């Protein structure tokens, strides 16, 4: 019953980061616990099939616990697993993927390999801090929200971001306070500053700052003429002068109520409007272009992985699997679906005659085309539009890719895309950020079948391997790269030799 205190042993961690005990005859979910903990728990939400509780007293700590590197960990909602050793985090993420593919996907959990480790701290290249003013004060507070709330936790330093972003935040707050740029109040809709955003290049160390403000303007000239625009421009110059790593300051205008962070208008206040990140491999068996590195221009609104170093690890997994699937194929055609700015497409470009990158966000397509020009890559073609419309259209033209890479959002693949994949007969690499929707889609792909246009037979897919990659240490989030091979009705696996 609600309010009851019970003693439980934590069995494992769930895909949402909580621990779970099943000793009471139903699952009891508790935050801030580790597998192996013996804990006194107070139940606050009791349902027919499960209950939720809060940790009251840790009776026997698990050996998998660690001292959190952040003093704000217990109140800040930015991270969930700083109380776990990094080895325990990796083990838990592997277990989460294995549970999903076994119980939801009906697949052998042995297909899931051990999660690839990352640098556990100081890895984020992008931050977005909401801001507040304390009651009866004009001091700017910035940080993250407490879990399941809009109560702000003021952050002075954050161990999952590089120190240069700590300095950026301190300088930005100080200068904005000096210029009387006060925080936006989401309750009243009044005030000016909504967010302080920034991204940094791990290659150059440069920082680009974006101030999100509650202001509307029909044009850049109107913004420049306004008193607020003039104050923000002066503040931007001072921010850059006080922190040399900051090479540009932009302003984004957003007057919409709600949780949307960025509005549609972004203007440069001072310095450069973009920075450049370089992703490169250190592997000797890779093409020279990947060892030299691919350079990506990043603006305030660019789509890009927040962990530059581990993004290379993920891309290397994709490249290795693509190289195996395309072995012996002459002049391969690859489709990169949900391509974003084209990081996967560009990374695979040495393997293909042509890559079609499908992306619905216009700004990402524009960034991708600039990146192709800057890196002198001429075999990647961006097609703006949804995968649901572009991929079936491509197939209807008789163009059959040798490989399709899909990297969908957390909701996974729509039924239309799944059907197009089955009809394509192409080998598939599925990059996922959600083990649950991955497992759901794998169950359909490995259990379904479609026509094989080359010989009139039917085809399905066999899951060859699932490789988790840790892009977000200290959190429960995990990326996976799954390799699916085209399987004909006689059980054989084959590569297509024509497109």
SS3 439: helix
Residue 433 annotated in active site = yes
SS3 384: strand
DSSP per residue, 48-81 = SS-EEEEEEEEEE--TTB---S-TTTTT-SS-S-
Residue 95 contacts residue 12 (beta carbons within 8 Å): yes
Among the listed residues 250, 278, 433, 449, the single catalytic one is 433
* Maximal C-alpha separation, the chain: 75
SS3 372: helix
- CA 470 to CA 115: how far, in whole Å? 6
- CA 28 to CA 37: how far, in whole Å? 13
Q: How many CA atoms lie within 13 A of 380 on its CB side?
A: 31
Residue 9 contacts residue 34 (beta carbons within 8 Å): no
Edge to edge, the sheet with strand 354-359 lists 380-384, 354-359, 333-337, 403-406, 427-432, 479-488, 458-469, 450-451
Strand 333-337 versus strand 403-406 pairing type: parallel
In 238-321, the DSSP E strands lie at 246-253, 265-271, 275-279, 294-298
Rg (CA), the chain: 25
Q: Determine how many CB atoms are found less than 10 A away from the CB of residue 265.
A: 16
Q: Name residues whose C-beta falls within 8 Å of residue 211's C-beta, 6 or more positions apart in sequence.
A: 172, 176, 181, 193, 195, 196, 197, 232, 236, 249, 250, 251, 252, 269
Just list the catalytic residues: 433
């Amino acid at each position: 019953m609600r309010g009851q205190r019970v003693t439980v042993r934590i069995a494992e961690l769930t895909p949402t980061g909580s621990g779970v005990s099943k000793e009471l005859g139903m699952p009891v979910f508790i935050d801030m616990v580790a597998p192996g903990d013996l804990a006194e728990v107070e139940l606050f939400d009791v349902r027919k099939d499960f209950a939720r509780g809060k940790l009251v007293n840790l009776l026997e700590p698990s050996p998998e616990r660690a001292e959190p590197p952040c003093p704000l960990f217990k109140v800040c909602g930015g991270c969930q697993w700083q109380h776990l050793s990094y080895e325990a985090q990796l083990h838990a993420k592997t277990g989460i993927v294995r549970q999903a593919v076994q119980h939801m996907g009906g697949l052998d959990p042995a297909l899931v390999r051990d999660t690839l480790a990352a640098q556990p701290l100081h890895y984020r290249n992008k931050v977005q801090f909401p801001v507040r003013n304390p009651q009866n004060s004009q001091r700017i507070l910035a940080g993250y929200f407490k879990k399941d709330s809009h109560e702000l936790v003021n952050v002075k330093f954050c161990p999952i971001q590089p120190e240069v972003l700590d300095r950026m935040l301190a300088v930005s707050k100080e200068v904005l306070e000096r210029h009387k740029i006060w925080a936006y109040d989401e309750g009243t809709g009044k005030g000016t500053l909504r967010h302080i955003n920034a991204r940094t290049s791990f290659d150059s160390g440069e920082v680009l700052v974006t101030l999100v403000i509650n202001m509307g303007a029909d044009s850049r000239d109107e913004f420049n003429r306004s008193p607020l625009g003039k104050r923000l421009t002066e503040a931007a110059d001072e921010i850059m002068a006080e922190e040399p790593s900051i090479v540009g300051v932009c302003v984004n205008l957003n007057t919409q109520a709600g949780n949307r962070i960025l509005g549609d208008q972004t203007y440069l206040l001072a310095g450069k409007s973009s920075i450049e990140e370089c992703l490169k491999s250190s592997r000797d068996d890779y093409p020279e272009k990947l060892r030299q590195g691919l350079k990506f221009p990043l603006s305030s609104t660019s789509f890009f992985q927040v962990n530059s170093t581990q993004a290379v690890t993920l891309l290397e997994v994709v490249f290795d699997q693509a190289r195996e699937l395309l072995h012996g194929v002459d002049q391969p055609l690859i489709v990169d679906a949900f391509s974003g700015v084209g990081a996967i497409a560009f990374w695979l470009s040495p393997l293909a005659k042509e890559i079609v990158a499908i992306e619905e966000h216009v700004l990402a397509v524009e960034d991708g085309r600039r990146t192709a020009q800057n890196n002198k890559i001429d075999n990647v073609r961006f097609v703006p539009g949804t995968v649901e419309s572009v991929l079936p259209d491509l197939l209807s033209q008789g163009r059959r890719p040798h490989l399709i890479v899909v990297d969908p959002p957390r909701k996974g693949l729509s039924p239309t895309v799944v059907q197009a994949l089955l009809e394509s007969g192409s080998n598939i690499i599925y990059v996922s950020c959600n083990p649950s929707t991955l497992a759901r889609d794998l169950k359909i792909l490995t259990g379904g079948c479609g026509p094989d246009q080359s010989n009139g037979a039917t085809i399905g897919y066999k899951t060859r391997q699932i490789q988790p990659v840790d892009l977000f240490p200290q959190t429960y989030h995990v990326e996976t790269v799954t390799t699916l091979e085209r399987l004909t009705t006689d059980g054989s696996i084959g590569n297509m030799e024509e497109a």
